[in-house]
């Protein structure tokens, strides 16, 4: 199953508490909570390029399954991450104490991020 495509954010749960747990300032959280981000994923075998556009902010990360890569977090900070694939439709990464699971089901991507006891769930549809 290929992740390649463009996805528009449809819904999110626990965005504000999760962003607070990450350490984002309130003004940034307020600006970001109502913006519908677009995620473009290009998959070439085990190599991925993920570009997330939220308003005027563009965050681009490239990684290869099973290899350590440097990725940019939502805070703008860069950190080392190892992304693994489970089955053919689930990407799992652990970055700085945060667990990120991205699951593709048909035309829907569910991205679940957990930091401590706070979980944020974002659902995007292919456009």
pLDDT of residue 54: 86
Rounded average pLDDT over 34-52 = 94
**pLDDT at residue 14 is higher than 80:** yes
Q: In what order do the strands lie in the sheet with 90-95?
A: 57-64, 47-54, 38-44, 5-13, 118-126, 108-115, 98-105, 90-95, 78-86, 68-72
**pLDDT at residue 7 is higher than 90:** yes
Tell me the residue ranges of DSSP E strands in 1-127: 5-13, 38-44, 47-54, 57-64, 68-72, 78-86, 90-95, 98-105, 108-115, 118-126
**CATH code (residue 114):** 2.40.128.20
Number of neighbouring beta carbons within 10 Å of residue 41: 21
Q: Which residues pair with 120 in a beta bridge?
A: 113
Instruction: Give me the number of domains the chain comprises.
Output: 1
Q: Does pTM top 0.85 for this prediction?
A: yes
Q: Which two tokens stand for residue 90?
A: 């689930």
Domain that holds residue 83: 5-126
pLDDT tens for each residue of 57-82: 899 999 999 999 999 987 788 999 99
């Amino acid at each position: 199953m290929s992740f390649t495509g463009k996805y528009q954010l449809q819904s999110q749960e626990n965005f504000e508490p999760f962003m607070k747990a990450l350490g984002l300032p309130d003004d940034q959280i307020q600006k970001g909570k109502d913006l519908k981000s677009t995620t473009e994923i290009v998959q070439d075998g085990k190599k991925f390029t993920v570009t997330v556009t939220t308003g005027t902010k563009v965050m681009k990360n490239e990684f290869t399954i099973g290899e350590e890569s440097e990725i940019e977090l939502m805070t703008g900070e860069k950190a080392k991450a190892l992304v693994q694939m489970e089955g053919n439709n689930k990407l799992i990464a652990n970055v700085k104490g945060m667990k990120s699971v991205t699951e593709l089901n048909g035309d829907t991507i569910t991205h679940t991020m957990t930091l401590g006891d706070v979980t944020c769930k974002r659902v995007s549809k292919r456009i």
